[in-house]
Amino acid sequence: MRVMIVSDFEGISGVRTFRQVIKEFGRPFEKARILITEDVNAAIRGLKAAGATEIGVVDGHRWGNPPNIIDEKIEAGITVLREKSARDNFIKSCDAQVLVGFHAMAGTKDGFLSHTSSSILGLALGLNGQYVGETAWCVWKGAYTGFPTIMVTGDAAVVREAKSFFPEIKGVTVKTALSRTSAKCLPLEKTRRMIEDVATYALKNLSQFKVPETPEPPIEMDLVFASPSFANSVAIMPGYRRKGDRWLSYTAKNWPELNEAFSMALRLALSQLVNLQENRSRVGSEQGNRYVREFVCHAWESEFPPLPELKTCREKQIQPKQPKL
């Protein structure tokens, strides 16, 4: 069996602050790289025990640049798929997907480091009238290719969120948010054991998982940014329509068009931050890192802006339960 692991950072065991997930904070980030590597290793061991013959790992946080996972410390025989071509080739014939270290969507009040795709942009994403996060996006991306997502790990909020969209998915709760920027984490030994055990359980019961349906086309996408300037940069793209000073919409005929439109929107919005990168390269390394740290602190410590109500909303919230092993 061929399984892909996609990792993020905010939902990793032992991560309690945003300073651990941003390279420019130095030592906290470097120490946390061990945490993300060991969570991924726990999932790998569990999948191997269930019969996985090929496992590909995608370092998803900040697109793996800079690297978060320590490649040299990954379980023997496993390769981190750093190149896009390698990821694209691996995904073509997967049997299942596992999400490790994920976080809740933007606007989730009880979600640790909750955001969607970019905390700096303060972005919220809606599809066909309901807000969605990175977890649902990744599940649907796999579903479009033809395989189910069998497990997600992270805080209690992301597990609840995942189950509200995909009730059959297995969840491992490794922490609970105390606020948007702090969390109470379970002991590392306990969470790694849970990740390994649930990965084994889920893959052994792969036949119980159905490939979920992707959003029904035409797909109406809503993007709500923290600042009008981000929306302004995306509004120039053909197909986008304004619904407000921070709010844009786009109608896609199918999933590939949706994926391309969303990716382009992210690139255009992030281009507004070019001064951040120019400032960092123009000044000395430590001065540049300090500038980035101040920028990130402001983004995380600012109150998340209110979100408009979409045409429908998902009211059902399914509480996460660990499977009986």
Say whether pLDDT at 317 is over 80. Answer: no
Per-residue pLDDT tens digits for 40-97:
999 999 999 999 999 999 999 988 889 999 999 999 999 899 998 999 999 999 999 9
Confidence of residue 286 (pLDDT cuts 50, 70, 90): confident
What's the confidence (pLDDT) of residue 318? 36
Q: Rounded CA gap, 26 and 289, in Å? A: 9
- Closest of 172, 222, 162 to residue 197, by C-alpha: 172
Instruction: Enumerate domains of the chain plus CATH numbers.
Output: 2-117+132-208 (3.40.50.10780), 219-301 (3.30.1360.130)
Q: Rounded CA gap, 233 and 196, in Å? A: 43
3-state secondary structure of 304: coil
Q: Rounded CA gap, 191 and 175, in Å? A: 9
Per-residue pLDDT tens digits for 111-121:
999 999 999 89
- Kindly list the distances between the CA atom of residue 47 and the CA atoms of 56, 61, 144, 210, 226, in Å, as whole numbers in the listed order: 11, 22, 22, 18, 39
What's the confidence (pLDDT) of residue 325? 39
DSSP state of 10: T
pTM exceeds 0.85 for this model = yes
Provide the percentage of residues in the chain whose pLDDT is more than 90. 82
Give all strands of the β-sheet with 247-252 in edge-to-edge order.
Answer: 130-132, 124-127, 219-224, 247-252, 241-242
- Using DSSP bridges, classify how beta strands 170-179 and 124-127 pair: parallel, antiparallel or unpaired: unpaired
Confidence of residue 281 (pLDDT cuts 50, 70, 90): low
Confidence of residue 282 (pLDDT cuts 50, 70, 90): low
Average pLDDT in the chain: 92
Per-residue pLDDT tens digits for 133-157:
999 999 999 999 999 999 999 999 9
3-state secondary structure of 186: coil
What's the confidence (pLDDT) of residue 243? 96
- Kindly list the distances between the CA atom of residue 134 and the CA atoms of 3, 50, 128, 131, in Å, as whole numbers in the listed order: 19, 26, 16, 11
Q: Rounded CA gap, 33 and 12, in Å? A: 10
Say whether pLDDT at 217 is over 70. Answer: yes
- Closest of 143, 136, 178 to residue 159, by C-alpha: 136
Say whether pLDDT at 18 is over 50. Answer: yes
User: Which residue matches tokens 């919220």?
Assistant: 124
Handedness of CA 195, 44, 144, 117 (dihedral sign): positive
**CA 305 to chain centroid:** 20
What's the confidence (pLDDT) of residue 312? 46
Confidence of residue 310 (pLDDT cuts 50, 70, 90): confident
What's the confidence (pLDDT) of residue 319? 41
